[in-house]
Every structure is written in C-alpha cells, then in structure tokens.
Amino acid sequence: MINYTLSAADRWRRPIVGAFFGLLLLVGLLLVRDYGLSVDENQSRHNGMLSLKHVCDLFWPEFVQRDQNAFAYYQQFDLRDYYDRDYGVAFEMPVSFFERLLRLESQRAIFWFRHLCTFLVCMGGVGAVYQLTKRRFKNWRLGLLGALLLVLSPRLFAESFYNDKDAVFMALFAVATNTAIRFIERPTLKRAFWHALACAITIDVRIMGVLLPMATLAMLALRIIRDEYRALGTGRLALGSSTYLLLLPTLVVALWPYLWDAPIDNFLDAFRKMAQFRWGGQVLYMGHMVTATELPWHYALVWICITTPVLYVLAFVTGGIRIVWDLVRRGLTLYASEEEWQDLFFLGLTVTPLLAVVALHSVLYDGWRQLYFVYPTFLLVAMRGLVALLQWQPQGSFWGAYWSTFIRGVLIVTLVTTAAQIAWFHPQQQVYFNFLPGRHIEQKFEMDYWSLSYRWGLEWITSHDSRPVIYVNAPMEGSVEINRWMLDEFAAERVKFVADPEKANYFMTTYRWHPDPYPYQEEVARLEAGRRRVLSIFRIR
C-alpha cells in the first residue's frame, strides 16, 4: 500500500511541477511592467551595447550600420579604454543583441524587455534550486519546497525583475552549482561540457564566479583521492576532467570581448578591480552614516538576518549545525554518502564567501546584494535544517506526538504570511525587512537605495497636477530621468528636472544619505510599504 501511494504521488510530479513553473512564468509576465528603474540599469545597458558594437565591428559591421541611431552614442567609446570595460557582459550583450534585433525604440519598451529577460534568467535559477534540492533529498516535493523558498524571498522577488547584476549572477551561480553537482557525481565528457559552459557564463557575468570552478576541482580531487570513480574508469575520468580544464578558460575568453586582446592580463586586471572595488560612498547602518570602506565586520551578516524571513535563517543555522556535527562525527572520513558530500559542498559555497568578506574587509554597500549568489546554497543548507527538524523526535509524550505537525504548521504559516507580504508590498518588495530590526527601520537602514519608487512618485505627480510642465527636484537627478522613461509619452514630456529646489514645483526623495527630515513643510504624498516610509513628495510651489 505504501509503495502504491508513493508511485501514485510520483505520477502527479510532472503536472504539479509544470503547474508550479507555469504559474511562476504567468506571474512574471503579469508583473514585469510594474517596477521602476534602478540607478544602475542604464549603465548596465551601456556596457552591453558597447560590447555588442565592439563584436559587430569585428565580425558583422552591417548590424551596426543598419541601426545607426541606436549605436550612435557608442561611437565615441572604445571598449579597450572604456571605464567599465572590466565588467562581464555575458548577460548584457545578448540582451542588447535581441533588443536591437527586435528594433525596440522607446526607452520604456527597451527596459520592459530587459526586465523580462532578467526575470526569465532568474526563473532559470529557481529551476536550478528545484533540481539541486530534489537531487539532494531524492524527493521532488522537497525540491518544489526549496524552489518556493527562493520565490518567497521578498527582496529577491522584486530584484528578479530589475537587478541585472546581482540577481542574474545569483541565478546563473545556482545553474552552475547544479551542473557542478552533476559533474562531480559523474565527470563524463557531456557533463564536463555543460559545467564548463555554465561556469564560463557565470564568470563572464561577475568574475566572483571563479569560486565555483575552484570548489568543483577541490571536491573532484577529494573524490579521486578517495577512489570514488572506480566504476567510471580511469580513461573516462581523465577525459572528462581534462575536457573541463581546457574548455573552461576557452569559453571564459570567448564569451568576454574585453579579454580577447590580452586574456591573462585583462582577466587579472578585472579580478584585481573586483577585489579592490572602486566605491567610497556612505551607507546608513544601524542609524549611523558609515563610509563603505569602514563598515564593521558584521555588516553583511546583519543584513542577511534582517532581510530574510526568520524561519529561513533559523533553518540555515540548524542545517549548518547538523552538517558540521556530521562532519565532526565522521572525523577524517569527512562524509559517508552522496548526500553528505553535497551538504559540505553547499555549506562551503555559502560560508566561504561570507568569511572571506569579513577577513578581507571587502567593500560592500546597498545591503548584501553583492553576496546574493550565496543565497541558493544558503537555502539548500536551510532545507537540510528543515528536514532535520521534521525528523527530530523530542522526548515527552506531547512533543513527541505533535512535533512534526508543529514544524509543518510553522512552515505553512511562514510561507503564507511571506506570500501575503510580497503581495502587500508590491511593487516595492525591495524594502522588505523582517521583524528583527524593530521599529523606525527607515532611520536605521537604507530603504529604497536604488530609487525604484521614483516611478511611483512621478506617476503621482503627473496624475495630480494638470500643469503642462512640472518642475521636479530630487537628490538623485539620474533616478528622476530614468524613471521618467517609464511614464507614458505625454506624462514624460511634462516632467522637467531642475537642479535648484527653490525653482521646482515638487521635491521628491527616498531619504538615501539623508535619514533626517527635510525642511519642507507640505508633504503632499508618501509611499509606504509595510507601513514604512519609502518616498516622500513635497510641494514647493
């Protein structure tokens, strides 16, 4: 009877999994036009367009010549001495190519398309987490739960539409982690190719992706030393491993135009600039303005804890303790099963970057977005913790009988309330905090540091003021301009930015770098998310 029940449930696997991802795609298509523009998106597009022009000038000049208006701005630059030449463009360049192939002209259409592409890549990351969790626990339902935890992460839900740097890198890192597990399990020629390709694309989005090949080779070497590939055969092992080692650098160079002239020197230059990142601004942290280069060691850890649903954090701690306990218990053996070495791999990919940031005093800002790539493996460790909690049998008649039901209840309540918060905050989920920071969060931590809410502000102003020309001032001129692109054409033409607040009709702010009140008295509109102030609009005249 038990076997029959399991097989009956498994017969529903494909339709249920298909429905989950189909619903996720539908939600994405419905919401993709709702978000504003972040301050970095236009620069990211410039990087992609310039690299596309560079490649087309070499191999397909007609593509640029027949679309001269779109490429006119980029004729003044040369990729070899461009300021952001060391940024990987494995995502940006293909998106720019399809943008021009589709002949998108308005800025609004271009960035809607870019948001769609960002979402589709991030959806691929959700699929990778499903595969990783399903394989680790040999249970497709737990695989769906792992994927659901990623989807129901409020900040990343929003950033999966517009964060073409950190969220895209996180998704691709998850995909490459999935190919890593498959390759380490059985390093065949086919798996070597797919893992090399996934790693190359990940590295060519953000060079920090080199961590994954390093982890792959370390685990592969450990398993070779333990003679775990005896069934595969020495010849096939050597062929798969050597193919990966040769193919990876080849693909990294091939997919990154900046490396073509001097692969080794330019790669090292990009890595050095990443390690010594060029940003010396200030951030609001625990109620104080702190220079990014002087942030305390716990900055990233605190941000992770206050912007992730608390149950996920507790589950991660539980999973980490259980994995370390198993490691200590095994001693020099390290692990005794496929599942245990995967746990070690996931924990290592999560903890090592966090420790490196602390040890090297790396420059971070805008929360922990530069470390988003550890989040998929963070969730895999959290899944290990949830399973451990479900399997634990506490002493005592009451808890012994109801413990598993209690954990399931807490999990369901967490998922439902988190989904409700995502809906409540929409489309400002990027300012989600859990309850740990307490009240008056906007006076302690940065809220909308990328100024996406400026779109809402401009929409409010143009819908409540009938003047043919409306003068707006804001601390970040660029954010006003790019979010003006997201208005309809008539409304966008009415908005003009002025540098002097006294000459403006309205002053608009997200309070970045200025947590204290402004001197203006007439606040005519305020955007809140979760009853927390995100943006204020003041009437000047």
According to the model, what pLDDT value does residue 11 have?
84
What pLDDT score does 1 carry? Answer: 34
Q: Is residue 458 part of a domain?
A: yes
- Flag whether pLDDT at 8 surpasses 70: no
Question: Is 185 in a helix, a strand, or coil?
Answer: helix
Quick check: is 527 in a domain?
yes
Q: Do the domain assignments include residue 525?
A: yes
**Structural domains in the chain (count):** 1
DSSP tag of 516: S
Q: At what angle do helices 189-203 and 211-225 cross, to 10 degrees?
A: 150
What residues pair up with 288 in beta bridges, in sequence order?
285
**Which tens digits make up the pLDDT trace of 499-534?**
999 999 999 999 998 888 899 989 999 999 999 999
Flag whether pLDDT at 490 surpasses 80. yes
What confidence tens digit (pLDDT) does each residue in 205-230 have? Answer: 999 999 999 999 999 999 999 999 99
> pTM, whole model, 2 decimals?
0.95
Task: Give Cα 283 to chain centroid, integer Å.
Answer: 20
Residue 425 lies in a domain: no
Model pLDDT for residues 317-329, shown as the tens digit of each residue? 999 999 999 999 9
Side-chain-side CA neighbours of residue 187 (13 Å): 25
The angle, 0 to 180 degrees and rounded to 10, between the axes of the packed helices 107-137 and 154-162 is 130
Say if 453 falls within a structural domain: yes
Q: What is the pLDDT of residue 399?
A: 74
pLDDT of 419? 98
CA dist 243 and 119 (Å) reads 32
Q: Per-residue pLDDT for 5 more than 50?
A: no
- Note whether residue 519 is domain-resident: yes
Return the SS3 of 511: coil
* Site of tokens 């409020």: 154
Confidence of residue 4 (pLDDT cuts 50, 70, 90): very low
Q: Which residue's entry shows tokens 């060519």?
A: 204
In a domain, 379, yes or no: no
Angle between helices 211-225 and 338-360 (to 10 degrees): 140
- pLDDT by residue (tens digit) across 355-370? 999 888 888 889 999 9
Q: Let me know if residue 450 belongs to a domain.
A: yes
Q: What is the pLDDT of residues 127-144, one digit of tens each?
A: 999 999 999 999 999 999
On average, the pLDDT of the chain sits at 94
Compute φ and ψ for 50, nearest 5 degrees. Answer: -65, -40
| Containing structural domain, residue 469 | 442-539
* pLDDT band, residue 121 (cuts 50/70/90): very high
Position 400 pLDDT exceeds 80: no
pLDDT-derived band of residue 476, with 50, 70 and 90 as boundaries? Answer: confident
pLDDT of residue 293: 86
